[in-house]
Structure 1
Protein backbone atom coordinates (compact mmCIF):
# COMPACT_ATOMS: atom_id res chain seq x y z
CA UNK A 1 0.00 0.00 0.00
CA UNK A 2 1.51 3.37 -0.96
CA UNK A 3 2.27 5.85 1.79
CA UNK A 4 -0.19 8.64 2.35
CA UNK A 5 1.17 12.01 1.26
CA UNK A 6 2.35 14.12 4.16
CA UNK A 7 0.37 17.27 4.75
CA UNK A 8 2.08 20.58 5.40
CA UNK A 9 0.49 20.68 8.85
CA UNK A 10 1.76 17.20 9.68
CA UNK A 11 5.29 18.06 8.60
CA UNK A 12 5.17 21.27 10.62
CA UNK A 13 4.09 19.45 13.78
CA UNK A 14 6.60 16.68 13.14
CA UNK A 15 9.39 19.24 13.12
CA UNK A 16 8.74 19.91 16.81
CA UNK A 17 9.92 16.41 17.74
CA UNK A 18 13.28 16.83 19.44
CA UNK A 19 14.38 20.21 18.02
CA UNK A 20 18.16 20.37 17.47
CA UNK A 21 18.60 16.62 18.04
CA UNK A 22 19.29 15.79 14.40
CA UNK A 23 21.61 18.78 13.97
CA UNK A 24 23.52 17.73 17.07
CA UNK A 25 23.75 14.16 15.87
CA UNK A 26 25.16 15.17 12.49
CA UNK A 27 27.61 17.66 14.00
CA UNK A 28 28.87 15.24 16.62
CA UNK A 29 29.14 12.35 14.20
CA UNK A 30 31.19 14.40 11.76
CA UNK A 31 33.42 15.86 14.45
CA UNK A 32 33.86 12.98 16.84
CA UNK A 33 37.35 11.67 16.38
CA UNK A 34 37.61 8.18 17.82
CA UNK A 35 33.85 7.69 18.01
CA UNK A 36 32.48 4.50 16.49
CA UNK A 37 29.59 4.69 14.03
CA UNK A 38 26.12 4.40 15.53
CA UNK A 39 25.07 0.75 15.59
CA UNK A 40 21.43 0.30 14.64
CA UNK A 41 20.97 -2.73 16.91
CA UNK A 42 21.67 -0.48 19.88
CA UNK A 43 19.39 2.21 18.49
CA UNK A 44 16.61 -0.39 18.21
CA UNK A 45 17.22 -1.60 21.76
CA UNK A 46 17.07 1.91 23.22
CA UNK A 47 14.04 2.82 21.10
CA UNK A 48 12.13 -0.23 22.35
CA UNK A 49 12.93 0.71 25.94
CA UNK A 50 11.84 4.33 25.43
CA UNK A 51 8.53 3.30 23.88
CA UNK A 52 7.89 0.91 26.78
CA UNK A 53 7.62 3.95 29.09
CA UNK A 54 9.78 2.13 31.62
CA UNK A 55 12.63 3.95 33.32
CA UNK A 56 14.09 0.62 34.40
CA UNK A 57 14.05 -0.63 30.80
CA UNK A 58 15.79 2.54 29.59
CA UNK A 59 18.55 2.25 32.18
CA UNK A 60 18.96 -1.46 31.44
CA UNK A 61 19.25 -0.73 27.73
CA UNK A 62 21.97 1.85 28.44
CA UNK A 63 23.87 -0.60 30.63
CA UNK A 64 23.63 -3.23 27.89
CA UNK A 65 24.94 -0.78 25.29
CA UNK A 66 27.72 0.34 27.63
CA UNK A 67 28.72 -3.30 28.17
CA UNK A 68 29.61 -3.37 24.47
CA UNK A 69 32.30 -0.75 25.05
CA UNK A 70 30.24 2.34 24.18
CA UNK A 71 30.73 5.22 26.62
CA UNK A 72 27.82 6.92 28.34
CA UNK A 73 28.75 10.22 26.70
CA UNK A 74 28.34 8.58 23.29
CA UNK A 75 24.99 7.13 24.37
CA UNK A 76 23.81 10.63 25.24
CA UNK A 77 25.41 12.40 22.27
CA UNK A 78 24.75 9.87 19.52
CA UNK A 79 22.25 7.19 20.45
CA UNK A 80 19.59 9.32 22.12
CA UNK A 81 19.37 11.69 19.10
CA UNK A 82 19.38 8.71 16.72
CA UNK A 83 16.38 7.22 18.52
CA UNK A 84 14.63 10.60 18.53
CA UNK A 85 15.10 10.87 14.79
CA UNK A 86 13.57 7.42 14.19
CA UNK A 87 10.56 8.40 16.31
CA UNK A 88 9.98 11.57 14.33
CA UNK A 89 10.44 9.82 10.99
CA UNK A 90 8.08 7.00 11.93
CA UNK A 91 5.38 9.38 13.07
CA UNK A 92 5.55 11.37 9.83
CA UNK A 93 5.21 8.10 7.87
CA UNK A 94 2.26 6.88 10.02
CA UNK A 95 4.17 3.96 11.52
CA UNK A 96 3.57 5.07 15.13
CA UNK A 97 1.11 7.41 16.79
CA UNK A 98 1.89 10.92 17.96
CA UNK A 99 1.15 9.74 21.51
CA UNK A 100 3.83 7.05 21.21
CA UNK A 101 6.26 9.57 19.74
CA UNK A 102 5.63 11.92 22.65
CA UNK A 103 6.07 9.13 25.22
CA UNK A 104 9.31 8.02 23.60
CA UNK A 105 10.70 11.57 23.46
CA UNK A 106 9.75 12.17 27.11
CA UNK A 107 11.52 8.98 28.19
CA UNK A 108 14.63 9.94 26.22
CA UNK A 109 14.62 13.33 27.91
CA UNK A 110 14.34 11.68 31.33
CA UNK A 111 17.18 9.35 30.37
CA UNK A 112 19.48 12.26 29.50
CA UNK A 113 18.98 13.66 32.98
CA UNK A 114 19.59 10.27 34.58
CA UNK A 115 22.76 9.72 32.56
CA UNK A 116 24.11 13.16 33.41
CA UNK A 117 23.49 12.65 37.10
CA UNK A 118 24.91 9.13 37.27
CA UNK A 119 27.72 9.13 34.73
CA UNK A 120 28.28 12.45 33.03
CA UNK A 121 27.94 14.90 35.89
CA UNK A 122 30.57 17.54 36.38
CA UNK A 123 30.59 20.47 38.77
CA UNK A 124 28.82 23.57 37.55
CA UNK A 125 31.38 25.96 36.14
CA UNK A 126 30.60 28.96 38.31
CA UNK A 127 33.34 30.96 36.62
CA UNK A 128 32.40 29.94 33.10
CA UNK A 129 30.32 31.91 30.60
CA UNK A 130 26.61 31.90 31.34
CA UNK A 131 24.13 30.83 28.65
CA UNK A 132 20.38 31.37 28.76
CA UNK A 133 18.91 28.37 26.93
CA UNK A 134 15.28 28.79 25.92
CA UNK A 135 12.53 26.80 24.24
CA UNK A 136 9.51 28.98 23.40
CA UNK A 137 6.27 28.25 25.24
CA UNK A 138 4.00 25.95 23.27
CA UNK A 139 6.71 23.76 21.76
CA UNK A 140 5.74 20.10 22.13
CA UNK A 141 9.17 18.62 22.79
CA UNK A 142 12.30 19.92 24.48
CA UNK A 143 14.64 16.93 24.09
CA UNK A 144 17.01 18.70 21.72
CA UNK A 145 17.40 21.69 24.03
CA UNK A 146 18.02 19.44 27.03
CA UNK A 147 20.76 17.68 25.07
CA UNK A 148 22.23 21.04 24.03
CA UNK A 149 22.30 22.17 27.68
CA UNK A 150 24.11 19.00 28.66
CA UNK A 151 26.63 19.52 25.87
CA UNK A 152 27.30 23.07 27.05
CA UNK A 153 27.71 22.07 30.71
CA UNK A 154 30.21 19.39 29.76
CA UNK A 155 32.17 22.09 27.95
CA UNK A 156 32.40 24.22 31.09
CA UNK A 157 29.43 26.56 30.64
CA UNK A 158 26.88 27.65 33.21
CA UNK A 159 23.41 27.08 31.73
CA UNK A 160 20.12 28.66 32.77
CA UNK A 161 17.35 26.60 31.07
CA UNK A 162 13.88 27.94 30.36
CA UNK A 163 11.96 25.18 28.57
CA UNK A 164 8.61 26.98 28.26
CA UNK A 165 9.87 30.53 27.87
CA UNK A 166 7.57 33.53 27.52
CA UNK A 167 8.77 37.04 26.79
CA UNK A 168 6.82 38.51 29.69
CA UNK A 169 8.44 36.13 32.19
CA UNK A 170 12.03 37.20 31.48
CA UNK A 171 13.53 39.47 34.12
CA UNK A 172 16.98 41.14 34.08
CA UNK A 173 17.99 39.52 37.37
CA UNK A 174 21.00 37.56 36.12
CA UNK A 175 22.57 40.06 33.76
CA UNK A 176 26.11 39.51 34.90
CA UNK A 177 25.87 35.73 34.56
CA UNK A 178 24.25 35.46 31.14
CA UNK A 179 26.71 36.11 28.33
CA UNK A 180 24.59 34.68 25.50
CA UNK A 181 21.09 33.45 24.73
CA UNK A 182 20.40 30.34 22.66
CA UNK A 183 16.83 29.68 21.52
CA UNK A 184 15.82 26.26 20.21
CA UNK A 185 12.64 26.60 18.16
CA UNK A 186 10.53 24.90 15.52
CA UNK A 187 8.12 26.36 12.96
CA UNK A 188 5.37 25.82 15.54
CA UNK A 189 6.51 29.10 17.14
CA UNK A 190 5.20 32.09 15.22
CA UNK A 191 7.65 34.72 14.05
CA UNK A 192 5.96 37.43 16.11
CA UNK A 193 6.37 35.40 19.32
CA UNK A 194 9.96 34.65 18.40
CA UNK A 195 10.73 38.35 17.85
CA UNK A 196 9.23 39.18 21.26
CA UNK A 197 11.34 36.49 22.89
CA UNK A 198 14.52 37.79 21.24
CA UNK A 199 13.75 41.35 22.35
CA UNK A 200 13.06 40.23 25.92
CA UNK A 201 16.26 38.19 26.00
CA UNK A 202 18.30 41.25 25.06
CA UNK A 203 16.83 43.17 27.99
CA UNK A 204 17.34 40.30 30.45
CA UNK A 205 21.00 39.57 29.68
CA UNK A 206 24.25 41.49 29.78
CA UNK A 207 24.74 44.37 27.39
CA UNK A 208 25.81 43.28 23.89
CA UNK A 209 25.25 39.58 24.68
CA UNK A 210 24.43 37.77 21.43
CA UNK A 211 21.08 36.05 20.83
CA UNK A 212 21.23 32.92 18.67
CA UNK A 213 18.45 30.77 17.23
CA UNK A 214 18.72 27.09 16.29
CA UNK A 215 16.49 24.09 15.89
CA UNK A 216 14.39 22.90 12.99
CA UNK A 217 13.11 26.40 12.29
CA UNK A 218 16.59 27.25 10.98
CA UNK A 219 16.13 24.98 7.97
CA UNK A 220 12.60 26.15 7.11
CA UNK A 221 12.52 29.90 7.64
CA UNK A 222 14.49 32.07 5.17
CA UNK A 223 16.26 35.16 6.53
CA UNK A 224 15.56 33.93 10.05
CA UNK A 225 18.06 36.23 11.77
CA UNK A 226 16.69 39.34 10.07
CA UNK A 227 13.06 38.41 10.62
CA UNK A 228 13.48 37.45 14.28
CA UNK A 229 16.00 40.12 15.27
CA UNK A 230 18.55 37.51 16.38
CA UNK A 231 22.27 37.99 15.87
CA UNK A 232 22.95 34.58 14.35
CA UNK A 233 21.33 31.34 13.26
CA UNK A 234 23.38 28.47 14.71
CA UNK A 235 23.15 25.04 13.14
CA UNK A 236 25.29 23.23 15.72
CA UNK A 237 27.07 23.70 19.04
CA UNK A 238 30.44 24.49 17.54
CA UNK A 239 28.97 27.15 15.25
CA UNK A 240 27.29 28.78 18.25
CA UNK A 241 30.49 28.82 20.32
CA UNK A 242 32.50 30.25 17.45
CA UNK A 243 30.03 33.07 16.88
CA UNK A 244 30.01 33.96 20.58
CA UNK A 245 33.82 33.79 20.59
CA UNK A 246 33.64 31.46 23.58
CA UNK A 247 36.51 29.16 24.34
CA UNK A 248 35.50 25.50 24.46
CA UNK A 249 36.62 24.73 28.00
CA UNK A 250 36.53 20.98 27.43
CA UNK A 251 39.66 21.24 25.31
CA UNK A 252 37.85 20.30 22.08
CA UNK A 253 39.08 22.35 19.15
CA UNK A 254 36.58 24.75 17.58
CA UNK A 255 38.43 24.68 14.25
Structure 2
Protein backbone atom coordinates (compact mmCIF):
# COMPACT_ATOMS: atom_id res chain seq x y z
CA UNK A 1 0.00 0.00 0.00
CA UNK A 2 1.40 3.42 -0.99
CA UNK A 3 2.10 6.11 1.61
CA UNK A 4 -0.56 8.34 0.03
CA UNK A 5 -3.28 5.70 0.32
CA UNK A 6 -2.23 4.86 3.88
CA UNK A 7 -2.34 8.51 4.87
CA UNK A 8 -5.79 8.85 3.29
CA UNK A 9 -7.14 5.97 5.37
CA UNK A 10 -6.00 7.40 8.68
CA UNK A 11 -8.87 9.91 9.08
CA UNK A 12 -11.39 7.17 8.23
CA UNK A 13 -9.84 4.84 10.80
CA UNK A 14 -10.03 7.56 13.47
CA UNK A 15 -13.69 8.17 12.58
CA UNK A 16 -14.54 4.47 12.82
CA UNK A 17 -12.78 4.16 16.18
CA UNK A 18 -14.60 7.27 17.43
CA UNK A 19 -17.99 5.86 16.42
CA UNK A 20 -17.24 2.52 18.04
CA UNK A 21 -16.20 4.25 21.26
CA UNK A 22 -19.42 6.28 21.28
CA UNK A 23 -21.44 3.08 20.85
CA UNK A 24 -19.76 1.57 23.89
CA UNK A 25 -20.31 4.61 26.16
CA UNK A 26 -22.47 3.63 29.14
CA UNK A 27 -24.36 5.99 31.45
CA UNK A 28 -23.90 5.89 35.22
CA UNK A 29 -27.17 3.93 35.45
CA UNK A 30 -25.90 1.29 33.00
CA UNK A 31 -27.68 2.34 29.79
CA UNK A 32 -25.79 2.30 26.51
CA UNK A 33 -25.65 5.94 25.42
CA UNK A 34 -26.25 5.28 21.73
CA UNK A 35 -29.50 3.40 22.43
CA UNK A 36 -30.65 5.97 24.97
CA UNK A 37 -29.94 8.81 22.54
CA UNK A 38 -32.01 7.05 19.87
CA UNK A 39 -34.96 6.66 22.26
CA UNK A 40 -34.83 10.31 23.36
CA UNK A 41 -34.71 11.46 19.72
CA UNK A 42 -37.71 9.27 18.91
CA UNK A 43 -39.62 10.89 21.79
CA UNK A 44 -39.00 14.50 20.76
CA UNK A 45 -39.00 14.31 16.97
CA UNK A 46 -41.94 15.97 15.16
CA UNK A 47 -42.24 12.81 13.07
CA UNK A 48 -45.00 10.27 13.93
CA UNK A 49 -44.19 7.85 16.73
CA UNK A 50 -44.78 4.13 16.21
CA UNK A 51 -44.11 2.30 19.51
CA UNK A 52 -43.82 -1.10 17.82
CA UNK A 53 -41.22 0.22 15.37
CA UNK A 54 -39.28 1.99 18.13
CA UNK A 55 -39.28 -1.21 20.18
CA UNK A 56 -37.93 -3.14 17.20
CA UNK A 57 -35.18 -0.54 16.76
CA UNK A 58 -34.23 -0.81 20.43
CA UNK A 59 -34.07 -4.59 20.18
CA UNK A 60 -31.77 -4.03 17.22
CA UNK A 61 -29.34 -2.55 19.75
CA UNK A 62 -29.45 -5.99 21.44
CA UNK A 63 -31.55 -4.70 24.34
CA UNK A 64 -33.81 -7.07 26.22
CA UNK A 65 -37.45 -6.12 26.74
CA UNK A 66 -36.86 -6.14 30.49
CA UNK A 67 -34.01 -3.68 29.96
CA UNK A 68 -36.22 -1.40 27.87
CA UNK A 69 -38.87 -1.32 30.62
CA UNK A 70 -36.63 -1.21 33.67
CA UNK A 71 -33.75 0.96 32.46
CA UNK A 72 -34.17 2.76 29.16
CA UNK A 73 -37.70 4.14 29.59
CA UNK A 74 -36.95 5.59 33.06
CA UNK A 75 -33.60 6.96 31.84
CA UNK A 76 -35.28 8.58 28.82
CA UNK A 77 -37.90 10.15 31.11
CA UNK A 78 -35.14 11.54 33.32
CA UNK A 79 -33.35 12.95 30.28
CA UNK A 80 -36.53 14.71 29.13
CA UNK A 81 -36.84 16.25 32.59
CA UNK A 82 -33.25 17.49 32.48
CA UNK A 83 -33.84 18.96 29.02
CA UNK A 84 -36.84 20.87 30.37
CA UNK A 85 -34.84 22.20 33.34
CA UNK A 86 -32.09 23.38 30.99
CA UNK A 87 -34.69 24.99 28.64
CA UNK A 88 -33.69 22.67 25.79
CA UNK A 89 -37.27 21.37 25.65
CA UNK A 90 -40.54 23.12 26.50
CA UNK A 91 -43.32 21.68 28.65
CA UNK A 92 -45.34 20.60 25.62
CA UNK A 93 -42.34 18.67 24.31
CA UNK A 94 -41.84 16.96 27.66
CA UNK A 95 -45.52 16.04 27.79
CA UNK A 96 -45.47 14.56 24.28
CA UNK A 97 -42.26 12.69 25.07
CA UNK A 98 -43.74 11.24 28.27
CA UNK A 99 -46.86 10.09 26.40
CA UNK A 100 -44.67 8.40 23.80
CA UNK A 101 -42.71 6.61 26.52
CA UNK A 102 -46.04 5.53 28.01
CA UNK A 103 -47.05 4.06 24.64
CA UNK A 104 -43.69 2.30 24.33
CA UNK A 105 -44.08 0.86 27.82
CA UNK A 106 -47.53 -0.47 26.94
CA UNK A 107 -46.11 -2.07 23.78
CA UNK A 108 -43.21 -3.69 25.65
CA UNK A 109 -45.52 -4.91 28.43
CA UNK A 110 -47.79 -6.63 25.90
CA UNK A 111 -44.80 -8.47 24.44
CA UNK A 112 -43.62 -9.57 27.90
CA UNK A 113 -46.76 -10.62 29.80
CA UNK A 114 -46.37 -11.90 33.34
CA UNK A 115 -46.84 -15.55 34.26
CA UNK A 116 -49.34 -15.87 37.10
CA UNK A 117 -49.84 -19.17 38.95
CA UNK A 118 -52.79 -21.16 37.60
CA UNK A 119 -54.08 -21.93 41.10
CA UNK A 120 -55.01 -18.30 41.72
CA UNK A 121 -52.31 -17.82 44.37
CA UNK A 122 -50.70 -14.83 42.63
CA UNK A 123 -49.90 -11.90 44.88
CA UNK A 124 -52.18 -8.91 44.35
CA UNK A 125 -50.71 -5.40 44.40
CA UNK A 126 -52.14 -1.88 44.44
CA UNK A 127 -49.78 0.81 43.11
CA UNK A 128 -50.66 4.30 44.33
CA UNK A 129 -49.69 7.72 42.98
CA UNK A 130 -50.95 10.09 45.72
CA UNK A 131 -52.82 13.34 45.18
CA UNK A 132 -50.64 16.10 43.81
CA UNK A 133 -47.99 13.78 42.39
CA UNK A 134 -47.31 13.82 38.63
CA UNK A 135 -44.88 10.95 38.01
CA UNK A 136 -47.39 8.52 36.48
CA UNK A 137 -44.87 6.91 34.13
CA UNK A 138 -42.75 5.62 37.02
CA UNK A 139 -45.80 3.98 38.60
CA UNK A 140 -46.64 2.31 35.29
CA UNK A 141 -43.06 0.99 35.01
CA UNK A 142 -43.42 -0.43 38.52
CA UNK A 143 -46.74 -2.04 37.57
CA UNK A 144 -45.12 -3.67 34.53
CA UNK A 145 -42.30 -5.01 36.70
CA UNK A 146 -44.76 -6.49 39.19
CA UNK A 147 -46.75 -8.17 36.42
CA UNK A 148 -43.55 -9.75 35.09
CA UNK A 149 -43.03 -11.14 38.59
CA UNK A 150 -46.43 -12.84 38.35
CA UNK A 151 -48.45 -10.35 40.40
CA UNK A 152 -51.91 -9.00 39.71
CA UNK A 153 -51.73 -5.20 39.68
CA UNK A 154 -54.23 -2.35 40.04
CA UNK A 155 -53.39 1.36 39.81
CA UNK A 156 -54.68 4.22 41.94
CA UNK A 157 -53.97 7.66 40.48
CA UNK A 158 -54.61 10.83 42.55
CA UNK A 159 -57.37 9.26 44.64
CA UNK A 160 -58.18 10.67 48.07
CA UNK A 161 -57.08 8.66 51.14
CA UNK A 162 -60.66 7.57 51.89
CA UNK A 163 -61.09 6.29 48.30
CA UNK A 164 -57.84 4.35 48.58
CA UNK A 165 -58.92 2.87 51.92
CA UNK A 166 -62.24 1.76 50.44
CA UNK A 167 -60.43 -0.01 47.59
CA UNK A 168 -58.12 -1.79 49.99
CA UNK A 169 -60.96 -2.89 52.28
CA UNK A 170 -62.94 -4.22 49.29
CA UNK A 171 -60.11 -5.75 47.23
CA UNK A 172 -57.79 -6.88 50.08
CA UNK A 173 -54.49 -6.67 48.11
CA UNK A 174 -51.42 -8.42 49.49
CA UNK A 175 -49.27 -5.31 49.07
CA UNK A 176 -49.71 -1.59 48.58
CA UNK A 177 -46.88 0.30 46.88
CA UNK A 178 -46.97 4.09 47.16
CA UNK A 179 -44.89 6.13 44.71
CA UNK A 180 -43.76 9.54 45.98
CA UNK A 181 -41.46 12.25 44.60
CA UNK A 182 -41.73 15.11 47.09
CA UNK A 183 -40.98 15.43 50.79
CA UNK A 184 -44.11 17.61 51.02
CA UNK A 185 -46.25 14.63 50.00
CA UNK A 186 -45.12 12.51 52.96
CA UNK A 187 -47.84 14.00 55.16
CA UNK A 188 -50.48 12.75 52.73
CA UNK A 189 -48.78 9.35 52.63
CA UNK A 190 -48.73 9.21 56.43
CA UNK A 191 -52.46 9.99 56.64
CA UNK A 192 -53.20 7.34 54.02
CA UNK A 193 -51.16 4.72 55.88
CA UNK A 194 -52.94 5.52 59.16
CA UNK A 195 -56.35 5.12 57.51
CA UNK A 196 -55.31 1.80 55.99
CA UNK A 197 -53.99 0.45 59.28
CA UNK A 198 -57.12 1.47 61.17
CA UNK A 199 -59.57 0.17 58.55
CA UNK A 200 -58.22 -2.92 56.79
CA UNK A 201 -59.06 -6.25 58.39
CA UNK A 202 -56.46 -8.04 56.28
CA UNK A 203 -53.39 -5.82 56.48
CA UNK A 204 -51.32 -5.59 53.27
CA UNK A 205 -47.60 -4.96 53.14
CA UNK A 206 -47.16 -1.20 52.84
CA UNK A 207 -44.17 0.00 50.80
CA UNK A 208 -43.00 3.45 49.75
CA UNK A 209 -40.72 4.27 46.83
CA UNK A 210 -40.35 6.51 43.81
CA UNK A 211 -38.15 9.53 42.99
CA UNK A 212 -38.24 10.69 46.62
CA UNK A 213 -34.79 11.23 48.12
CA UNK A 214 -34.03 11.06 51.83
CA UNK A 215 -33.10 8.82 54.76
CA UNK A 216 -34.99 5.56 54.26
CA UNK A 217 -35.26 4.75 57.98
CA UNK A 218 -36.49 8.24 58.78
CA UNK A 219 -39.06 8.15 55.98
CA UNK A 220 -40.29 4.74 57.11
CA UNK A 221 -40.73 5.92 60.69
CA UNK A 222 -42.43 9.14 59.58
CA UNK A 223 -44.95 7.47 57.28
CA UNK A 224 -45.52 4.17 59.08
CA UNK A 225 -44.88 1.96 56.04
CA UNK A 226 -43.26 -1.46 56.33
CA UNK A 227 -40.37 -0.72 53.99
CA UNK A 228 -38.89 1.99 51.76
CA UNK A 229 -37.44 0.72 48.48
CA UNK A 230 -37.36 1.35 44.73
CA UNK A 231 -37.04 -2.33 43.87
CA UNK A 232 -40.17 -4.34 43.06
CA UNK A 233 -38.48 -7.63 43.98
CA UNK A 234 -37.83 -6.29 47.50
CA UNK A 235 -41.54 -5.77 48.08
CA UNK A 236 -42.55 -9.09 46.53
CA UNK A 237 -39.92 -10.92 48.59
CA UNK A 238 -41.01 -9.15 51.81
CA UNK A 239 -44.66 -9.98 51.09
CA UNK A 240 -43.93 -13.62 50.25
CA UNK A 241 -41.95 -14.14 53.45
CA UNK A 242 -44.69 -12.56 55.53
CA UNK A 243 -47.38 -14.73 53.94
CA UNK A 244 -45.35 -17.87 54.63
CA UNK A 245 -44.78 -16.79 58.24
CA UNK A 246 -48.48 -16.14 58.78
CA UNK A 247 -49.54 -19.41 57.14
CA UNK A 248 -47.15 -21.31 59.43
CA UNK A 249 -48.78 -20.10 62.58
TM-score range, shorter chain: 0.7 to 0.9
Within a 5 Å distance, the mapping from 1:90-169 to structure 2 comes to 90-117=83-110, 119-122=111-114, 126-169=120-163
Question: What TM-score, normalized by structure 1, do the two folds share?
Answer: 0.72
Structure 2 counterpart SS, 1:139:
coil
Question: What TM-score, normalized by structure 2, do the two folds share?
Answer: 0.73
Structure 2 counterpart SS, 1:111:
helix
Match of 1:47 in 2: 40
* Unpaired stretches in structure 2, ≥5 consecutive residues: 1-26, 243-249
1:53 is displaced (CA, Å) by 6.8
1:135 is displaced (CA, Å) by 0.6
Contact 2:161 2:191 in 1 (8 A): yes
Match of 1:61 in 2: 54
Residues 145-190 of structure 1: per-residue CA shift (max 9 Å, x gap): 1011110110111111112232121211112xx1111100111753
Residues 229, 122 of structure 1: CA spacing in aligned structure 2 closer, same or farther, 3 A cutoff? closer
More helix by share: 2
User: Structure 2 CA distance, aligned partners of 1:42 and 1:162?
Assistant: 32
Contact 1:139 1:164 in 2 (8 A): yes
Match of 1:194 in 2: 189
Q: Kindly indicate whether structure 1 or structure 2 has the higher relative contact order, using CA contacts under 8 Å at least 6 residues apart.
A: 1
Residues 222, 92 of structure 1: CA spacing in aligned structure 2 closer, same or farther, 3 A cutoff? farther
User: Structure 1 CA distance, aligned partners of 2:133 and 2:209?
Assistant: 14
Within a 5 Å distance, the mapping from 1:195-234 to structure 2 comes to 195-202=190-197, 205=200, 207-219=202-214, 223-234=218-229
Match of 1:76 in 2: 69
User: Structure 1 CA distance, aligned partners of 2:155 and 2:106?
Assistant: 13
| Worse-superposed segment, 183-192 or 150-159 | 183-192
